Amino acid sequence: MYFGVLSVVFCFNSIVPKFVILFVLTFSPYLLRAQKAIDRRRQIDTTGKRDLIDVGKSVLNIHPSKIDSQSHKAAYFSFLPISYSVPGGGTALFTATNFAFYTGDRNSTYLSTVTFTPYLNFSKRFGLPLRSNIWTNNNEWVIQGDTRFLVYPQNTWGLGGQQPEFNKFVVNHQYIRFYQSALKRVTPYFYVGAGYNLDYYLDIETDNPNALQRFTGYPYGTSSDMNSFSSGITLNALYDTRNNDLNPMPGSYINVVYRMNFRALGSDANWRSLFLDMRKYVSLTGGTEKNVLAFWTYYWKTFGNGIPYLSLPSIGWDPYQHSGRGIQQNRYRGNALVYFETEYRRDILSNGLLGMVVFANVNSVSQPVTGNFAYWHPAGGAGLRVKFNKKSDTNITIDYGFSEGYRAVILGLGEAF
């Protein structure tokens, strides 16, 4: 596996920055160790643990069911109703709902998840995002899906890493996303496959006709009242030893997605993109209490002409939309983006009901003319964790993130990465 990872790295040597290659070389030797360690921690250990469901049962004096909780057909729900402000004004009512389940023997099958996060406000802004990550019995296949319909106002600042705050500009549009991929296991923890990605931006509009194009200086997908359509196939490679993407156990994760958009498939232009995502989770103690150091980096690059402005790499628009805590979504955009984050996770209570995190991240986007990563933008913060469902190890996350000129509270279900 170590030499397999190295071969992938050197294939992309001409387009991946040297510091990303260094990260892979640094953490690749740990992959084989992670493979051995995970066999001892296949199941989520709930011994002595407590969650909000237990608290509710105690308050309401509800006795536990005698149904076999270890049945592979067991399913676990978590939900979180909240409200938050949206770009352009107004407050959205937001509900995060997570459905976690096993499709087979939990001793040899990862936890599958389906997450639905609809939001609605009273200014005709709403979204219907649905994500799924399905592991078939014995992890023979992993089926990944990301479907969204959004009426989505968002701020933009133009291209590059030096745009001033006063350049902020609201863009309204509708967005349809349909991503599906299927990957087959070829060796333990390593998968390859293919997929189809569709991005459709409708009714892109601003307060002034053609104002967005004049503002950004970017000619593709920026004219008022226009649509942009991208349709392409993906080649996917995945290495995953984490067991649970809601709350990863110590292990490793490498995901490579190479996307090719073709006019023959209906795309407005022929263009390509590469997304390389790497994560490492290190346990600092051997006990049952969480004491983990987590690392995350990704590199996102586009190639070709005619790439729609809203499809260019942008902070907070990674596939899970979790990067850049403490930085406004969409604040930095370019033809390429590189990102690093480190987080320390620890239980406050030994029963796992309460926990805490401290995190720091930094990102840079390529400059429009030179393509260099000239400006780096740090952010940091801390947060609390409340265990909603111990059987799926799902936390309610409450984070406070900050960067220069910006502060935010971020609520959600499941860890950021």
Written as one string, the DSSP assignment of 317-342 is -STTS---TTS-TTSSB-SEEEEEEE
What was the pLDDT predicted at 122? 61
Residue 234, classified by CB atoms within 10 Å of its CB into exposed (0-12), middle (13-18) or buried (19+), is buried
Neighbours of 62 (CB within 10 A): 11
Both tokens of 339, joined, read 């990102």
Structure tokens at 377: 């933008």
Q: What are the C-alpha distances in Å from 412 to residues 111, 296, 326? A: 19, 19, 14
Report the distance separating Cα 282 and Cα 393, nearest Å: 17
Segment-wise mean pLDDT, segments of 10 residues, the chain, 417 residues: 40 49 52 45 73 86 58 71 55 76 90 87 77 95 96 88 88 93 96 98 76 76 78 97 89 97 96 97 83 96 93 93 92 96 96 96 95 96 94 92 92 90
Amino acid at residue number 288? T
pTM of this prediction exceeds 0.75: yes
Which letter, b or e, does each residue of 294-323 get, where b requires 16 or more Cβ atoms within 10 Å of its Cβ? Answer: bbbbbbbbbeeebbbbbbbbbbbbbbeebb
Give the domain extent around 257.
2-413
Distances (CA, A) of 282 to 38, 166, 192, 267, 342: 12, 41, 25, 42, 11
pLDDT of 320: 84
Residue 158's nearest CA partner among 308, 326, 300, 330 is 330
- Gyration radius (Cα) of the chain, Å: 21
User: Which residues on adjacent β-strands are paired with residue 231?
Assistant: 198
Give the total number of structural domains in the chain. Answer: 1
d(CA 217, CA 142): 41
CATH number of the domain to which 121 belongs: 2.40.160.50
d(C-alpha 194, C-alpha 16), whole Å: 21
